[in-house]
Amino acid sequence: MKALMYRGPWEMPVEEIEEPTPAAGKVVVEVEAVGICGSDVHGFTGKSGRRTPGIVMGHEFAGTIGELGPDVEGYAVGDGVVVMPLFTEAPGGDPYPINLSPHRRLTGMNEHGAYAQRVAVRTTQLFPKPAGLSWQRAALCEPMAVTLHAARITPINPMQKVAVVGVGPIGLLAMLAARLKGAGTIIAVDRSAHRLELAEELGADAVINVDETDAAATIREMTDGGVDVAFEAVGLSPTAQLSVEATRNGGNVTWIGNNAPMIELDMQSIVTREMSVRGSYGFDETDFAAAIEALSSGRLNVDPLVEKVAPLDEGPELFRSLAAGENDLVKIILKP
């Protein structure tokens, strides 16, 4: 079968690899749609260190069951499923939520993922795909779950002011998740005019281009001292610092971005202003189910995020152009 095989920094050709076979408790999923995630692009360049050569990436996906392993019950060949890529294989059970487990693993990072025609996964990772959920929207359930989780663990009261720093796919979905939780004014911050236009289309009340103004000062002036809540969806020192500076004294900051392993930050500002800064990683089963419900209900307008749908053969060039900064498409879906 065809797959994008990561061979090292900036090398991910389409190759013919061995077909997956389902072990006990697993199924083979024929991949109908898989999203290109920023974490995979960072892994492709070798900068993040979170992708190992010899792996097939791809963790935002949905498809049709093509083969059942031994002892599989409750599923049949031909069933449409959305796959939750996080899993844990803790010996003797796991007392932690799946996203906090020291035994957590990710399909597409710790084992072959969905930039392939077929992939083997555990039945514990499967969620039935509702009939009204398109394959493209199904591929957005994983990033939607990430942002629903971030919103769930962040104190947001009705009509509070929220800033989202970095409006790539996660930042844009974080806007929608914050609105679901009751946010009033939402301010989107980025340096891409294209992404800020999309943020406005998806409901941002104001947009700020960091290349055109002092974003933190502008936000503090607009909000009489800062927003109540800020989400950071980039993962770099300047954007992390901006998320703190744009938030009022005593406010809440949630970091979703996971890019640079070490950042510089004004610790005294956090201490003397009694800021609450938290990290948000992944999701649990409840968040993933909520994402499927939110996207299948049609309540959220996520279709504008998908700006290109392409076959697997175009994957190498799309990854190269994204990593080189030549491509500003917000979300690309591959159809293996």
Check pLDDT > 90 for residue 237: yes
Greater pLDDT, 185 or 42? 185
The architecture CATH gives domain 2-142+283-335: Alpha-Beta Complex (3.90)
Residues 110-131 have a mean pLDDT of 97
Check pLDDT > 80 for residue 93: no
What are the pLDDT digits (tens) for 151-163?
Answer: 999 999 999 999 9
pLDDT band at 14 (very low <50, low <70, confident <90, very high): very high
pTM of the full structure:
0.96
Q: State the pLDDT at residue 90.
A: 78
Average pLDDT score over the chain = 96
Residues 127-156 have a mean pLDDT of 97
pLDDT band at 258 (very low <50, low <70, confident <90, very high): confident
Q: State the pLDDT at residue 48.
A: 73
pLDDT band at 89 (very low <50, low <70, confident <90, very high): confident
Q: State the pLDDT at residue 92.
A: 74
What are the pLDDT digits (tens) for 21-40?
Answer: 999 999 999 999 999 999 99
pLDDT band at 254 (very low <50, low <70, confident <90, very high): very high
Domains of the chain, residue spans: 2-142+283-335, 154-279
Q: Same topology for domains 2-142+283-335 and 154-279, yes or no?
A: no
What are the pLDDT digits (tens) for 285-332?
Answer: 999 999 999 999 988 989 999 999 999 999 999 999 999 999 989 999
Q: State the pLDDT at residue 94.
A: 83
Distance separating alpha carbons of residues 255 and 233, to the nearest angstrom: 6
Of 27, 132, 135, nearest in space to 71 by CA: 27
* CATH code that applies to domain 154-279: 3.40.50.720
Of 247, 246, 225, 243, nearest in space to 235 by CA: 243
pLDDT band at 49 (very low <50, low <70, confident <90, very high): confident
